[in-house]
Every structure is written in structure tokens, then in C-alpha cells.
Amino acid sequence: MKKLMNGADTILAESLAGFAAAHADIVVLDPSGKFIRRKDIISGKVALISGGGSGHEPLHAGFVGMGMLDAACPGQVFTSPTPDQMLEAAQAVDGGAGVLFIVKNYEGDVMNFDMAAEMLKDMAGIAVMQLITNDDIAVEDSLFTTGRRGVAGTLVVERIVGAAAEKGMSLADLMALGERVNRQSKSFGVALTSCTVPAAGKPTFDLGPGDMEFGVGIHGEPGRRRAALASADEIAAEICEGIAKEFGDVRGRNALLFVNGFGGTPLMELYVMHNSARRIFERHGIEIARSLTGSYVTSLDMAGCSITLTLLDDDMLSLWDAPVHTAALRWGA
């Protein structure tokens, strides 16, 4: 194992310190090291908080800032954050309009955010709602979930709901919007290699040089099947046809195409996949109105990618285009 680190036991703390120093104009690392928050706390605005195990950077800390999250709670690598992290983050960024937790559908994350929500209501009297993302169509149940996993579509939810929160939308309306974005987002991933967790020092699973894993999760969970490595067009066809089948007839609809790298795939290859996916979806009559390509929801050093398609209505399209300024995503003002 070759990694740029001082030790497996300090890598998260040192990474968070470096992240906060590099983006000190946008974020602040809590002195306890339990969460990253926006530098500016907005009074009267619903606070958006997400989190999960580290190793998926820039998710979630990289999306803290104007137009997205107010705070992010990182756990150890591939390990859920603890309820006290979410509780303290919520109290730090509460603007008086309530808190929305955005939670990927993994059992540890859901359980700990549930506990934090109860503590927040009982101890601080703060209104809180929880939005669960479950956009992964690859498997219904996995090692860590009951039902579908929350994967790259979580970014789309955080972006669109974050823009609406910036405009002053109420907690209940943000919850309804987030549920709509989640329903209209479908994702599917393929791995060409495993990832290596620093504390383990070896790949999470074995994958031969001529193999790939279809439907892999973002923690190295097994997918729906193993297959011989194929061309980009063939890989995209299986993924995109599966997504199109989930949606049914959506001819004439606008959509966001998000091709996400898992951390070990060059942009050149991700754009090849974008080109293949775009052509397939356009054959289904889907208008690709917006695109995002890059490594945003990663799995350490895993090679591979996921494809997410989000059907956009006019409100969602406008919110996607609204200004955003975070470490990893920024456009507009």
C-alpha cells in the first residue's frame, strides 16, 4: 500500500485540518474536529447538514458553503459519524428556521442521524427533519442497507435543496423538494479496481485485471455481478439502459447527466463515459439540459465511475443554475 499519510490513525484529522486551512475563506473546522461548517451563519435560514464516513471526498465537506450545505460531519473512513457530531453541528449553524439532515441510506448513518434528531428536538427544541437519499438502482439490499443505497445522487439533492434554502424556503418545503429530487434521480456504478482503506492496508475485494464489478457501492460493497472488462460504450449501455428502464417513458424531459469518478479514474475516461451515456439517453428522447463530470462522490482510490440521471422540472433547473460557492462546486456570483 502506498499512500500520502503519516499514519492511519491520524489521516482524517490531518486531512480535515488541511482542508479547512486551504478553504478558510469558505469554511471553519470546529475546534473539536467533529464537523466542518460554513464561515458565515445565516439568520432565518434553514440549516442543511449532511455527513457520513470519510473516503468519499469531496462529499460532504467539499459541498459546505453558499448554495449547498451549512455543515458536514465526517466519520472515520467508511464509518458513520456519531450522533454528538450532528447535534453539535446543528447547534452551531442553527439560524432559527430549523434543520434539515440529508442522510445517505446506510444503516449506520440513518440510525445515528435518527438519534441526533431526537437529541436536537429534546435538548435544544430545534425543529428538524430528515431526508433519506436512495438513488442507487443496482441492488435493493446490500451489506449496509435495507433498501437502495444513497450514492452520487446525494450531491444533486444537496445542490438543489441548498439553493432553495439559500432563497429562504421553509423546512417543510425543502423536505418536499428534496424528496422530489431524490425520486427523480437514479444512479448505477461500475468498479474497475477495489479501493484500499488505510487502516486495512490491502484492497477491500479482489478483482482480476480483466474483470469489472457492476453495481458496486461507494464502500467497496459487491455489486450485482462480475463481468469481463468491456468497452466504454458497452459499459454505458448496460448502465444507461437500466436507468432508462427505471424511469419508463420520459421522452421530451430535461435531465441532468452526472458522470462521477470513484477517485482513481482520469477525467479523460470520465468524459468518454459522458459521451457514451449522453448518446444513449438522447436515443431515449431525453434532453440533457445540464451536465456534471468529475470525481465528486468517491471511494478512496477505486477506479470506475457511476452515472446519475436526474429528471429536471423548471424549478429544479433554475435552482441547479443558482449561484453556488463551495470548495468543490462553484459557479455564478
Tell me the Cα Rg of the chain: 19
As a whole number of angstroms, the distance between CA 176 and CA 178 comes to 5
Pairwise CA distance, residues 106 & 84, whole Å? 18
46 within 8 A of 90, measured Cβ to Cβ: no
Annotated catalytic residue 60: no
> Any catalytic annotation for residue 219?
yes
| 39 burial level (CB within 10 Å; 0-12, 13-18, 19+) | middle
Q: At what angle do helices 107-119 and 83-93 cross, to 10 degrees?
A: 50
Question: Which one of 56, 60, 274, 284 is the catalytic residue?
Answer: 56
Dmax over CA atoms of the chain, in Å, equals 56
Q: Which residues pair with 247 in a beta bridge?
A: none
Q: Which of 23, 60, 219, 274 is catalytic?
A: 219
Active centre residues (catalytic): 56, 219
